[in-house]
Amino acid sequence: MRVAPVLLASVVAFAAIEGAVFHTGVYPWILNPDGSTGYLETILRHERERPKNGPQVLGIGDSRMILLPRISNQHTAETGYTFGTIAVAGSSPRSWYYMLRDTDPTARLYRAIVLALESYDDAEKWGDEADNDADLSYVIVHLRLTDLWEYSRSFHAPKQQWKAARGILLKELVYKRDFENLLLHPVGRFNNVRLSRRDSFGWFYGYSGPPDTVSDYRIDWETKTVTAPPNADPARVDGLKTRLLLPLAPQSGNQSSYLKYWLGKIHERYRDAPTRLIFLRLPRGGFVRPDQAPYNPHSSVRELAAQPNVTLMDEHFFDSLEKPELFQDEMHLNGPGMNRFSLMITEEVRRILGPPR
């Protein structure tokens, strides 16, 4: 046997099988719907399979945008717009770009895309968002070999860059936990997938959010303490402390350059499209900390706002929702809060877009 042809044939055979199983829709079809990758795929599948009659508006963001369509679509007859969402808990603008690329491959499906941001000032986060470990798991299904350079270079830490590059080449390495879970519970997995495919659209679009509130909690900004009611959920108390009482992250410019890059890429995709990009600043919580990130006139969205197809909703448009009785925890609106939030978005989007043509 000659060495080079045999080794080359081995590598080609491996790459061909790997590609056929993991770089196509074969493995994603059986992803765990409860895992991060599988959950995102479920959301995107809902959006792909959702009937799209009339002008469409798509919401994207993190967990705080998930419940948008239920209320918005109750008003379709008045507004003329149908709403969908591909918001996923913990997702960020880098993931949104790849999610949008596959959800709207022609960049012509939607009249508007509503992007929900935490801040208009590119407020810094603790930890570099560019190195967010979860991003790769979220969008691995949608990454192509041609994304290898740009996507892996978008991480700052060399370890993360390597992990991303390796993951794009050998996708199973990213699916590994999912695959191990499949090995542990093969029958349960297939049942779960079947159930999710049959019913998850209804669960998702019908869910109205919990009634819980944080109105029994008190924040003392002077002493930096949270007073919780008896039997309070410790996770909720910790969440409030972390979000409200920890010092603000110092402004390093990392978040700004990250957002400028990825929001810029999203805008670039829709530059000549009939799609308006509408940004909104999410309601900050039932309690709003007195110290806020400094005003940044050159932030990513404020610079993007100069573009013809970009609109920024008023930064304080949702301030009226920032009440403890409308929040279930430190940052998530509860059911009634989400209803009001969705309605406000619906009306404002209708105002921005005007009547459907």
Partner 1 sequence: MLFNTPQFFLFLAVTLAVFYLAPKPARKWILLIASYFFYMSWNWRFAPLLLSLTVIDYVAAIWMERVETPRRRKLFLVLSLAANLGFLGFFKYYNFLASMLAEALRKDSHAFALSIVLPLGISFHTFQSISYVVDVYRGEQKAIRNPIDYALFIAFFPQLVAGPIVRAREFFADYYKWAPPVSEETLRGVLWILLGLTKKMTLADQFAQIADSYFKNLAAHPGAPAAWSGVGAFAMQIFFDFSGYTDMAIGMALLLGFHFPTNFRRPYLAFSITDFWHRWHISLSRWLRDYLYIPLGGNRHGALMTYRNLMITMLLGGLWHGASWNFVIWGGYHGALLGLERVFGRKHFQEPPHWLLYPFRAAITFVLVCVGWVFFRAATLHDGVYVIQQMFSWHGKGILIPAWLGCVLAVSLVIAVLEERTEWIERLAHGPAWAYVAVVVTLLFSVELIGVTEKAVPFVYFQF
Interacting residue ranges for partner 1, rule: CB under 8 A = 1-3, 5-7, 9-10, 13-14, 17-18, 162, 166, 170, 172-173, 176, 179-180, 183-184
Among residues 28 and 283, whose Cβ is nearest to partner 1?
A: 28
| Least distance from partner 1 to the Cβ atom of residue 13, Å | 5
| Least distance from partner 1 to the Cβ atom of residue 141, Å | 17
> How many Å apart are CA 73 and CA 84, to the nearest integer?
9
| Least distance from partner 1 to the Cβ atom of residue 24, Å | 16
Quote the crossing angle between the two packed helices 36-49 and 172-184, to the nearest 10°: 100
| Least distance from partner 1 to the Cβ atom of residue 157, Å | 15
Among residues 84 and 167, whose Cβ is nearest to partner 1?
A: 167
Among residues 145 and 352, whose Cβ is nearest to partner 1?
A: 145
Among residues 78 and 180, whose Cβ is nearest to partner 1?
A: 180
| Least distance from partner 1 to the Cβ atom of residue 173, Å | 6
Give the CA dihedral 324, 326, 328, 329, nearest 10 degrees.
-40
> How many Å apart are CA 136 and CA 157, to the nearest integer?
14
Among residues 18 and 347, whose Cβ is nearest to partner 1?
A: 18
Question: Taking a C-beta distance cutoff of 8 angstroms, is the pair 193, 33 a contact?
Answer: yes
Among residues 9 and 246, whose Cβ is nearest to partner 1?
A: 9
Radius of gyration for the chain, computed over Cα atoms and rounded to the nearest angstrom: 22
| Least distance from partner 1 to the Cβ atom of residue 239, Å | 28
Among residues 6 and 235, whose Cβ is nearest to partner 1?
A: 6
Cβ contacts of 33-39, under 8 Å, gap ≥ 24: 33/192, 33/193, 33/196, 33/200, 34/192, 35/177, 35/178, 35/181, 36/90, 36/134, 36/137, 36/138, 37/137, 37/138, 37/140, 37/141, 37/174, 37/175, 37/178, 38/178, 39/88, 39/89
| Least distance from partner 1 to the Cβ atom of residue 172, Å | 5
| Least distance from partner 1 to the Cβ atom of residue 187, Å | 11
Among residues 15 and 246, whose Cβ is nearest to partner 1?
A: 15
What count of residues does the chain have? 357
